[in-house]
Structure 1
Amino acid sequence: MGTVESAHIATRPPATRWAVVAVYAAALTASTATFLAYAAVAPRVGAAFGVSEAAVGNLALLSPLSLVLLGPVSGRLLDRRFETTLAVGAAMIAVGPLVRLVDPSSYGWALAGQVLLTSGTPFVANAITKYPARYFSAQERPTVIALLSASFYVGVLVAAIAGPPLYESGGISRLVAFHATIGVAAGTALLIMVAVVRVPAVVAEPGPAFVRGRLRRTRELWLLAGVISGLFGLFNAFIAWIETVEDHLGNAGFGGPLVIALTLGGVTGAITVPGLAAKRDARRTVLIAIGVVQVVGLLAIAATGSRVILLVLAVIVGFFMMAALPVAFEWSEIHAGTANAASATAFLSILGNLGGVAFVLAPQLVLDSPRSVFILLAALSIPGVLAAVRLPQTPTPHCVALANTAASNH
């Protein structure tokens, strides 16, 4: 049985710790933007590659696939050999976009670069709770995790906003060159920070609070995964189908602005809500409220045809929906302990991406009735609300959870 973790401040907080977070946030933003490089201009990119639009879309699907397949090993390695594992991930997200430059108009090179990039993503993204836990106190971590979570959504914005003008001004070569530049810059900066600068951790990291096999059997993590599934699923479904749905409703070209509105609201929510939830110890209440707003917001979107109202609703839904990610991640770090933080994050990412598949596949059944898509997504969001309701009032600290898990095995 693992020992109970009792993390403490090991050294005086270095002035460079915010630089560490800034570099890591830039890597999260760049990796997200680069794997979505083709998404905003998929039809034109497909023509340039000489492949179908679906084949271009499959390039973006490699990221959630990698998070599922490489999630367990990335979480385990980050918990055991943090700097080495993160350095490998940083190198991969730097080199992947560069590979696509060999022949920007080749689907084969695009696929090769995308495989390398997305294979490195889990080894970077799953450090989102462990990285802050090394440099910030428990009181500071909710804010830092929120800022890092928002960096994912900034990456989505970069891809959505920059893609069309880049392609129109310089074709696929300029698009690929832009993403190679930000990928190499951010990945290299993170690699230097981890492997060369090596800022010492502030918070001491003792032995794990859980034997990792038991970590996966804790009820709270499964409930958090249920909440996360709704978040991942709705966001992925919105990106995948909103253009098609709006086109069927006579609003051709309006899907892009709605995605931008959703993401802008999400960045704001991810930055502001989690800190307030932690400060007031209201994480469960916030997760329930987020789920309810998600359901009601989707039904409202289904009921209106006004573009202005749709944009407002997209901002509201995004604000609440994307705030759930950092709240759930911070909860998992409290529950699993610092030593197992990356494994807990990987667990949530795996189940979140798997559960979210239903959100992406289900709308195909009702595309002939486009407003029904939003009603269906609202219905699929209800289990996430129920999962939030079943969570304890406050996170169970890892020392208590360890005792409960041990007792249940006797």
Structure 2
Amino acid sequence: MPRSRWTPIVAYSLVGAATQLVWLNFAGITTVAAARYDVSENAIGWLAQVFPLLYVVLAIPAGLLLDRWFRPSLLIGALLTALGALLRLGDTYPWLLTGQLVASVAQPLVLNAVTGITGRYLSPRDRPTGIAAGTASIFAGMVIAFVLSAFLASSNQIPVVLVISAIFSVIAAIALLLALRLPALHTSASPRPDRNALRTAWSDPLIRRLCLLAMFPFGVFVALTTFAQALLEPSGVSASTASTILLVNVIAGVLGSATIPILVSRHQAASAQLTLSLTATAIACVCLALFPGPLVGYLAITTIGVLLLPALPVVLEIVERQTGEAEGTAAGLIWMSGNLGGLLVATAVGLMVNHPTPAFLVMAAIALIATPGARALRHSL
């Protein structure tokens, strides 16, 4: 069996991190950014929400492109991410929104590729580890975003954040361009018409079930990362403290995503892990609703990170084993469903941004509703 090639995985991980860095640059400094650009907090929230909105529209076309023309499609995603980050250097709200829109077009081409790049460059025994590592690196991009928000949280430091993000995105795109010149161990591209890949993926009842399930944890996480700072501010949590809480949350998620999915795969415990993560998330959101403050914020949101974020690589590893030739399209369906959930839940929470208790209780209810579906998966895996 040929040895796995990890260099493309590392380069891909940098680009995946860049997409999340650009997405979440303003999540920890919503009120500060709103004051700087003289817009509402909800307008700043839309700088993040355009990503799930366009993901819903573009996930399937991106998956089909990746299934047919994997390398060029992934490279276009990397280059558009870098271009979007560069456009934001205009440092006005219209330029920020333009850059976010360009980068959000790129995101499906990058994130849908996590199963495809592991399938092409890693041996079968290394693929669960590769998916876990690739997904963990996506969350690592969130870590970088929250680090920047925590240490560069003032209004006059926002341009520095934009420059750092642009440099990182350009370096990541160049690294991927060089890494993809290596020959793949396996080519998953199929000569079949694109529409067959979609039919193959959607005809699988397990994939359909996973798509429905993905909407709930995605929705809660997107809403939490977008509006946590604004929701916690009335209880005395500053912008810098909120950024630090989100940072700890995603660091915990990175560590969990790099380890938990590997153990879950070995012990075939996907249903148990998903049920536990959703139940714990619901309890944590109830605590945030009833006892808001810095300490509960740290404990509850860190718990959500360490348990909920690994659900994504767990689901994607199931998809990689289940779909074969249509892996890009199937991953696109999962991401599309998750981002649709993110869009719906974040929009609902955004409407309640001045009423933290109901907002957190809504997120708790959404997580709890999904637990029966997670338990039912044990009969299908």
Counting only pairs closer than 5 Å after superposition, residues 330-409 of structure 1 correspond to structure 2 as 330-337=317-324, 339-363=325-349, 370-393=356-379, 395=381
- Which of 85, 101, 105 is the equivalent residue of 1:119? 105
> Taking structure 1 as reference, are residues 278 and 250 closer, same or farther at Cα in structure 2, changes over 3 Å only?
same
Counting only pairs closer than 5 Å after superposition, residues 86-125 of structure 1 correspond to structure 2 as 86-101=74-89, 103=90, 105-125=91-111
Deviation (angstroms), 1:363: 3.7
Instruction: Look at both structures and tell me which one has the larger radius of gyration over its CA atoms.
Output: 1
CA distance in 1, matches of 2:160, 2:293: 36
CA distance in 2, matches of 1:385, 1:151: 27
What's 2:242 paired with? Answer: 255
CA distance in 2, matches of 1:281, 1:318: 22
- 3-state SS in 2 of match to 1:199: coil
1:178 aligns with 2:171: no
What's 1:65 paired with? Answer: 53
Contact 1:249 1:370 in 2 (8 A): no
Structure 1: unaligned runs, 5 residues or longer: 1-8, 396-410
Contact 1:40 1:163 in 2 (8 A): yes
Deviation (angstroms), 1:369: 5.7
What's 2:184 paired with? Answer: 201
CA distance in 1, matches of 2:197, 2:355: 49
CA distance in 1, matches of 2:41, 2:253: 27
Q: Relative to total residues, which structure has the larger helix share, 1 or 2?
A: 2
What's 1:243 paired with? Answer: 229
> Taking structure 1 as reference, are residues 307 and 220 closer, same or farther at Cα in structure 2, changes over 3 Å only?
same
Deviation (angstroms), 1:193: 2.1
Deviation (angstroms), 1:252: 4.4
Amino acid at match of 2:374: A
Contact 2:67 2:189 in 1 (8 A): no
CA distance in 1, matches of 2:277, 2:353: 26
> Taking structure 1 as reference, are residues 316 and 322 closer, same or farther at Cα in structure 2, changes over 3 Å only?
same
Counting only pairs closer than 5 Å after superposition, residues 126-145 of structure 1 correspond to structure 2 as 126-145=112-131
What's 1:30 paired with? Answer: 18
What's 1:84 paired with? Answer: 72
- Which of 203, 223, 227 is the equivalent residue of 1:217? 203
User: Normalising by the residue count of structure 1, what TM-score does the alignment of the two structures yield?
Assistant: 0.84
Deviation (angstroms), 1:95: 1.9
- 3-state SS in 2 of match to 1:143: helix
- Which of 266, 270, 292 is the equivalent residue of 1:283? 270
User: Normalising by the residue count of structure 2, what TM-score does the alignment of the two structures yield?
Assistant: 0.90
- Which of 148, 161, 185 is the equivalent residue of 2:147? 161
Structure 2: unaligned runs, 5 residues or longer: none
CA distance in 2, matches of 1:269, 1:300: 22
CA distance in 1, matches of 2:278, 2:14: 29
CA distance in 1, matches of 2:287, 2:42: 30
RMSD: 2.5
CA distance in 1, matches of 2:86, 2:290: 45
- The total of aligned residue pairs comes to 377
Amino acid at match of 2:264: A
Identity of matched residues, %: 28
What's 2:311 paired with? Answer: 324
Contact 1:167 1:174 in 2 (8 A): no
